[in-house]
Structure 1
Amino acid sequence: METNAHPTTDATPHHTPQTLRAFGTAMNSITVYGALGAIAFLAVAVAASSGHMVNTFMWVRAVLLPVVAVLIYRMAISASQGSRRAFERVGTLAVIMPIAIIGVDLIPGVCPPWYAAMQAVCMLPVIHVALITRGSALRAAFLRGR
């Protein structure tokens, strides 16, 4: 007797092969964002320990962004289990975060160019999540759930 521990054709629209694949890709992107955020934190720590200028803004952002990755990942888990509210929050954050992060970094004097570039790279997986949450597979799953 065979059993499938991960059914792909559940009665809910949130468990179709397309939605499972889309959520898997989104969660992988969030994981990459978290890893890049951790690398950015380490870069700030190395810069500070080697005598380079590191301001409070850089420290706060370097600490908060990996923490935010964990929170978004948890929301993505809830969304993959059918939470419309979590899905909307993940989608909204994935659009707002890159605009806010990159926009603030472009203000002259806020941070050095290397840090702004690193933050822009960190936002690439988040932009990918924004595209996934607006893709047909997930949009259709949550439209049908109304």
Structure 2
Amino acid sequence: METNANPKNADAALLDTPAARTAFATTRTAVKVYAVLSTAALLAVVAVAGTGHLVNPFMWTRAILLPFIAVLLHRLTLSTAAGSRRAYDRLRTIALVCPLAIAGVDLIPGICPWWYAALQTVCVLPILRIALTTRAPALRTAFPKPR
């Protein structure tokens, strides 16, 4: 009989509780919503540029990069659900830092138009949901802090 003796990974029994399964389902849904919203933001930038309005390089860069974060979040969510403590820690960190960074940069006067800042704010709401879910007792119990 083989056991998971790696202290860096979660106990399978703790991952299979109803609360943990609900937390993983919530996280997966939030990642999907974020992917849709960030892709819609990219399409909005393309549409605005296509109509001849000014779209600065910052907006292009951000609009292109943010959907890739959805891919990263998805991969981390899958690894976390499989029991990876390292993925759990990274998911928690990204879900906390990303909204702060996006909102912080959008608050710099003149860097982007108000509609783009509002669109980006809506895009980070699902990431905030991930941050709250990964800090809830269900997942903190499944991934106790290493000693």
Q: Does the 8 Å CA contact 2:12/2:83 hold for their aligned counterparts?
A: no
Give the gaps of 5 or more residues in structure 2.
1-10
Q: What's the secondary structure of 2:83's corresponding residue?
A: coil
**Aligned pairs (5 A) from 1:27-66:** 27-66=28-67
**Aligned pairs (5 A) from 1:67-146:** 67-143=68-144
TM-score after normalising by structure 1? 0.90
Structure 2 match to 1:26: 27
Q: What's the secondary structure of 1:143's corresponding residue?
A: coil
The whole-number CA distance in structure 2 between the counterparts of 1:55 and 1:109 is 11
Distance 1:50 1:11, change over 3 A: closer
The whole-number CA distance in structure 2 between the counterparts of 1:70 and 1:15 is 24
CA-based RMSD: 1.5
Deviation at 1:145, TM superposition (A): 7.8
Could you list the per-position Cα deviations for residues 73-111 of structure 1 after superposition, in whole angstroms to 9, with x for gaps in the alignment?
A: 111100001000000101110000000001001101110
Give the gaps of 5 or more residues in structure 1.
1-9
TM-score after normalising by structure 2? 0.89
Regions of 4+ moved over 6 Å: none
Deviation at 1:12, TM superposition (A): 2.4
The structure, 1 or 2, with the larger RCO (C-alpha pairs under 8 Å, 6+ apart) is: 2
Could you list the per-position Cα deviations for residues 27-84 of structure 1 after superposition, in whole angstroms to 9, with x for gaps in the alignment?
A: 1001100100000000000000001110111011111101110111111100001000
Q: Does the 8 Å CA contact 2:38/2:123 hold for their aligned counterparts?
A: yes
Q: Does the 8 Å CA contact 2:35/2:70 hold for their aligned counterparts?
A: yes
| Paired letter, 1:39 | A
**Would you say how many aligned residue pairs link Structure 1 and Structure 2?**
137
